[in-house]
Amino acid sequence: MPQIRAYEHANGAHGRRINYRAPRYAARELFETPFPIAVVAGAPFTLCDISRTGVSAIGAAAVDLSEGQTVPVQLRLGESMLHGGTAAITRVEPTDIGPKIGLKFVEAQVDLDGVVRRYRQELLRAHLARSMADLEKPPSDGFRLLVSDILNALRSCREVLEPRRIDRDFMPDGTIVEECLEALAARLGPLGEQANLRLESILEDPSELARCKKLVERILTPELTASPLWARAYDKPLNYPGDYLLIDRLGQGGADEGSPYVRLLERLARRAFAWAVRRTDLIADALVREMHQQRGLPMLHIASVGGGAAAEIVELIDRLRQARPIRLTLTDTDVSALDHAHTRLNEEVLRAGNRLSIACLNASYTEFMEGGELEGALLGQHIIVAPTLLDYLRHRAASQLLDALYASLEPGGLIIASCLRSHPGSTRWMSELVCDWSMIHRERDEVLALASGLAKAKVDVRLDRDRDLYLLTVRKPRALAAA
């Protein structure tokens, strides 16, 4: 139990801290984007920080300001004033983008709680105004009817499975949930094809795409995000779509938790994004085949670029169960994904001794491109895997990436990548419109065109068994070594 001090033994601050000053907060600590602006002597300045007694701001305002001067100061968001008063200029510091000034209010102190409260109210008012403006130019009647039909199909299953409509002593079993899923899938099939056609027609029209996505996010997304899988796909807690934990959970079997309707939505998510799980097996199969092709090498160098938690590498090592010397290089922008992969592979590394090693690089794919900070870091690879990157890169960037990876291959080496296939029956509309998870879907000739500039490369494109994915392989000929 801590000893209670007598009042005369209590300590205060020491040194420079003995003179108490009201806490000062950076603007980003209290406000979101957009920040309030500080209007000083009628000129706008960018707010830097704020306390109860004053503010500091910076800007290129063409006003004559000097220390000791008393000026009117307002904190404003748009047309609304959050605080106003008179302040003395305590300092003026020149910077590259204009003077930075410190101001101390000479009248009432700033009610920080009140300023933040009024700021948030103004943000809500602005959001309401934008939302109402969206309604003035809605998507076409046909698209709205389509969204209504999809919601109607979901609600029809909900009526069957919702607990409040069932006797409390009886809960539907998995058979009924599965029958609802099959009926729902049969209904969503033709509706999804219509949604994909509509999506395809507006992909190059940003304003119309935004209106359609907003409508779907208001009507369908709240219905589906009652399911944890759909919620994670939409919320993106790691700040990027399709994160490695979502893919892991999509691949997990077993009984779902929650109400029968939530279990239905979970199974619908696993069916809608089944390609994400199949992609791991597709690439792992290609890796196993290629390892047999290159079985004569004393040490095999394999790199995974932008592979998240490197599920296909984990699957490969799990399948091998043999002590073949391999050096793995895993790269990703998410350090937690690399840590997850390293943890999963650690047991195999310990078992294999010095025959299996792992290097992890927390880097973006652009850092391996021409002129990037890590250019040359992947040189000498026998196999390079890029499982998902091409789905997020337009043609030019994707071709540049393949060119950089091709340059990193040893003669006779292989690039293994995949691309989502564009076809009417895909679930692209679900990822793009419901989850705001944007990916590029390609035709076969578009996939081939990505590697068309690679000198003497042997390029092959194959469909997976469910016809949702293309497996792209690029072989570097051995003859290039002699040349």
CATH number for the domain spanning 24: value is 2.40.10.220
- Our measurement of the distance from residue 39's CA atom to the centroid of its chain's CA atoms, rounded to an integer in Å, reads 36
Cα(403)–Cα(423) distance, integer angstroms? 27
Domain end, chosen from 249, 272, 295, is at 272
Whether the bond into 222 is cis, omega within 30 of 0: no
C-alpha pair distances (Å), 339 with each of 249, 284, 318, 336, 349:
17, 20, 18, 5, 14
In 3-state terms, what secondary structure has residue 441? strand
* Domain assignment of residue 299, yes or no: yes
Whether residue 16 is predicted with pLDDT greater than 60 in this model: the reply is no
What is the CB neighbour count within 10 angstroms for residue 378? 20
Whether 246 and 297 map to the same domain: the answer is no
Q: Please check whether residues 322 and 295 belong to one and the same domain.
A: yes
pLDDT confidence tier of residue 137, bands split at 50, 70 and 90:
confident
**Distances in whole angstroms, Cα of residue 446 to Cα of each of 7, 137, 279:** 78, 35, 19
200 located within any domain: yes
Answer whether residue 158 is part of any domain: yes
Q: Is the dihedral of CA 439, 443, 448, 452 positive or negative?
A: negative
Choosing from 237, 272, 307, the residue where a domain stops is: 272
Which of the listed residues 93, 111, 129 is the one where a domain comes to its end?
111
- How far from 464 is each of 2, 334, 402, 461, 471, CA to CA, in Å? 66, 28, 21, 10, 7
What confidence category does residue 7 fall into, taking pLDDT thresholds of 50, 70 and 90? low
For residues 154 and 162, what is the distance between their CA atoms, to the nearest angstrom? 11
Q: For residue 126, is it within any domain? A: no
Could you tell me the residue range of the domain that residue 185 belongs to?
137-272
Whole-number average pLDDT of the chain: 88
For 376, the token pair is 């040359």
Rounded Cα distance between 446 and 449, Å, is 5
Amino acid letter, 82: L
CB atoms closer than 10 angstroms to residue 168: 7
The answer to whether residues 71 and 208 belong to one domain is no
Instruction: Compute the average pLDDT of residues 95-117.
Output: 86
Q: 280 and 266, same structural domain?
A: no
Beta-carbon contacts of 51 under 8 Å, excluding residues fewer than 6 positions away, are 21, 22, 23, 24, 25, 110, 112
Does residue 80 or residue 324 have the better pLDDT?
Answer: 80
What's the token pair of residue 465? 């068994």
Say what the pTM is: 0.79
C-alpha pair distances (Å), 4 with each of 10, 115, 136 = 10, 38, 66
For residue 386, list its beta bridge partners. Answer: 417
Max intra-chain CA distance, the chain: 87
Query: Residue 67: pLDDT band by 50, 70, 90 thresholds?
Result: confident
Give the CATH number of the domain where residue 408 resides: 3.40.50.150
Domain membership of residue 6 (yes or no) is no
**Structure tokens belonging to residue 249:** 């959970």
Give me the mean pLDDT over the 121-134 stretch. 83
DSSP code of residue 368: G
* Cβ proximity of 308 and 388 under 8 Å: yes
- 364-378, 392-406, 417-431: least confident range: 364-378
Buried b (16+ CB within 10 A) or exposed e, 7-33: eeeeeeeeeeeeeeeeeeeebeebbee
pLDDT at 324 over 90: no
Segment 86-96 mean pLDDT: 88
* Buried residues in 412-423 as b, exposed as e (16+ CB within 10 A): bbbbbbbbbbbe
Q: Per mean pLDDT, which of 42-51, 307-316, 437-446 is the most reliable? A: 437-446
The pLDDT-based confidence of 125 (bands split at 50, 70, 90) is confident
226/300 same-domain check: no
Same domain, 77 and 188: no
Residue 189 confidence (pLDDT)? 96
Q: Within a 10 A sphere around the Cβ of 300, how many other Cβ atoms? A: 17
- 321 and 216 housed in the same domain: no
345 and 356 assigned to the same domain: yes
pLDDT computed for residue 426 by the predictor: 96
Integer Cα distance of 405 and 415 in angstroms: 8
Residue 322 has a pLDDT of 66
Q: Is residue 7 part of a domain?
A: no
- On whether residue 4 sits in a domain, the answer given is no
Same domain? For 267 and 279 the reply is: no
Lowest mean pLDDT among 43-47, 205-209, 284-288, 321-325: 321-325
Answer whether 441's CB lies under 8 Å from 426's CB: yes
pLDDT at 22 (0 to 100)? 75
Rg of the chain in Å (alpha carbons) = 29
The predicted structure's pLDDT at residue 483: 46
Q: Under a CB-based contact definition with an 8 Å cutoff, are residues 266 and 227 in contact? A: yes
141 and 204: one domain? yes
Residue pLDDT, tens place only, 229-255: 999 999 999 999 999 999 999 988 766
Q: Are residues 477 and 353 in the same domain?
A: yes
Strand partners, 70: 88
Total of domains in the chain: 3
Q: Do the bridges between strand 356-362 and strand 326-332 make them parallel or antiparallel, or are there none, so unpaired?
A: parallel
Whether pLDDT at 5 is above 70: no
Between 478 and 194, the more confident residue is: 194
368 or 197, which is more confident? 197
- According to the model, what pLDDT value does residue 195 have? 97
**Can you tell me the distance from the alpha carbon of 358 to that of 353, in angstroms, rounded to the nearest whole number?**
12
User: At 386, phi and psi to the nearest 5?
Assistant: -130, 80
Q: Decide if pLDDT at 2 tops 60.
A: no
Residue 74 lies in a domain: yes
- How big is the chain, counted in residues? 483
Q: What is the structure's pLDDT at 198?
A: 96
Residue 315 shares a structural domain with residue 454: yes
